[in-house]
C-alpha cells in the first residue's frame, strides 16, 4: 500500500495530464471507461493498486465522470 499523499499526487498529476474535453463526444461513459482503464494501468506501473486509488477517489468511474465534466465546463467558451 502506497502512502496516501503519493497516491493523491499521482491522481492529481494524472488527471491534469490526461482528462480533456473531447469536442463532439456523445459517448461520455465510453470515454470514462477508457480513462479509468488508462489510469488504473498507469497506477499499476507506479505500484499503486486499485484499492489505493479507491481509498483516494472512491468509485473511479464517478470520480472520472466528475473530472471529465469539469474539464468540459472549463473548456466551454465564456459568454460575454
Question: Could you state, in order of their start, the residue ranges of all structural domains in the chain?
Answer: 4-18+27-73
Looking at residue 78, its pLDDT comes to 66
Looking at residue 16, its pLDDT comes to 95
Range 5-43 burial, b when 16+ CB lie within 10 A, else e? eebeebbeebbeeebeeeeeeeeeeebbeebbeebeeeb
Looking at residue 74, its pLDDT comes to 81
Looking at residue 27, its pLDDT comes to 78
Nearest to 28, CA basis, from 68, 60, 62, 59: 68
Nearest to 40, CA basis, from 20, 25, 57: 57
Looking at residue 24, its pLDDT comes to 73
Consecutive sets of 10 residues in the chain, 80 residues long: mean pLDDT of each?
A: 93 95 77 95 96 96 93 75
Distances 36 to 3, 22, 48 between C-alpha atoms, Å: 21, 16, 14
Amino acid at each position: 500500500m502506497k502512502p496516501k499523499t503519493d497516491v493523491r499526487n499521482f491522481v492529481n498529476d494524472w488527471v491534469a495530464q490526461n482528462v480533456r474535453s473531447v469536442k463532439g463526444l456523445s459517448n461520455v461513459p465510453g470515454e470514462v471507461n477508457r480513462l479509468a482503464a488508462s489510469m488504473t494501468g498507469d497506477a499499476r506501473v507506479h505500484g499503486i493498486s486499485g484499492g489505493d486509488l479507491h481509498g483516494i477517489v472512491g468509485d473511479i468511474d464517478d470520480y472520472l465522470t466528475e473530472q471529465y465534466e469539469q474539464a468540459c465546463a472549463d473548456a466551454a467558451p465564456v459568454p460575454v
